[in-house]
């Protein structure tokens, strides 16, 4: 499977240049721009689409002392990019629905889930940094999103940046469609479109 540097070079190839990098931390314009965007684009893409390689299902561990209004406290997973589902005995919550019967908050040193249940199970999008775990579909989407994010800064070609943004959006919409058969949650497509627009992947921001 490709390494981080390979993914960066694939993104550069989308720009139509011959430039390559040996490492994301080297002192070159290409590496600096790729390194600036790499982790943010990776994490956002992993949170927006319900990829099977970073879908985690596990019981939460009791931890900490809850506020007086709650009976139980659980450690919130430190590698969680997006909580997708919570099961409290016979009740469940899914992302996009109103949060009732629990609260997620920080006590200043960590993040916890507070509720009145003695068992909680979670399904969430895990932050995966090891490219060996990435699926081919994720890599292709990641490459296109990364290329769209750095295109203008590296090439100064606004039309190229816009074309790559459209290509990235199409790639992710395809991934969303594929993921729909594996439990994609309602509303994720709208959230994706809004997120891409804010970050400029629709070509509206250089």
Render pLDDT for 103-123 as a digit per residue (tens, 0 to 9). Answer: 999 988 899 999 999 999 999
Across 10-19, 34-43, 133-142, 158-167, which has the greatest mean pLDDT?
34-43
CB 143 within 8 A of CB 7: yes
Residue 114 bridge partners (DSSP) = 73, 103
Element (H, E) at 93: strand 91-94
150: how many CB neighbours lie within 10 A of its CB?
26
Over its C-alpha atoms, the chain yields an Rg (Å, rounded) of: 19
Looking at residues 69-85, what average pLDDT do you find?
96
Work out the percent of the chain whose per-residue pLDDT is above 70. 87
The winner for highest mean pLDDT among 110-114, 155-159, 190-194 is 110-114
Most confident of 81-90, 124-133, 159-168, 190-199: 124-133
Cβ neighbours for 8, distance < 8 A, ≥ 6 positions apart: 21, 24, 30, 31, 34, 38, 146
Cα–Cα distance for residue pair 186/51, rounded to 1 Å = 15
196 Cβ contact list (under 8 Å, min separation 6): 165, 168, 169, 172, 202
Q: How far apart are the first and last CA of the chain?
A: 31
Could you tell me the pTM of the whole model?
0.83
Mean pLDDT, rounded, for 63-79? 95
Report in angstroms the alpha-carbon separations of 139 from 46, 132, 171.
Answer: 11, 10, 11
Q: Give the rounded distance of the alpha carbon of 73 from its chain centre.
A: 26
Give me the chain's average pLDDT, please: 87
Share of the chain above pLDDT 90, in %: 68
């Amino acid at each position: 499977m490709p390494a981080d540097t390979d993914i960066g070079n694939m993104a550069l190839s989308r720009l139509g240049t011959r430039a390559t990098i040996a490492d994301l931390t080297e002192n070159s314009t290409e590496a600096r721009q790729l390194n600036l965007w790499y982790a943010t684009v990776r994490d956002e893409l992993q949170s927006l689409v319900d990829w099977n390689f970073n879908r985690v299902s596990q019981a939460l561990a009791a931890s900490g002392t809850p506020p007086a209004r709650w009976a139980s406290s659980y450690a919130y997973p430190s590698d969680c990019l997006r909580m997708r589902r919570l099961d409290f005995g016979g009740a469940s919550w899914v992302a996009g629905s109103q949060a009732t019967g629990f609260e997620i908050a920080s006590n200043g040193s960590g993040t916890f889930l507070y509720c009145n249940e003695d068992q909680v199970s979670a399904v969430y999008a895990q932050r995966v940094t090891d490219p060996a775990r990435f699926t081919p579909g994720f890599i292709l989407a990641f490459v296109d999103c990364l290329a769209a994010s750095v295109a203008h800064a590296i090439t100064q070609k606004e039309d190229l940046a816009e074309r790559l943004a459209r290509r990235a959006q199409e790639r992710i919409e395809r991934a969303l469609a594929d993921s729909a058969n594996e439990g994609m949650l309602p509303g994720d497509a709208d959230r994706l479109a809004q997120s891409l627009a804010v970050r400029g992947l629709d070509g509206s921001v250089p």
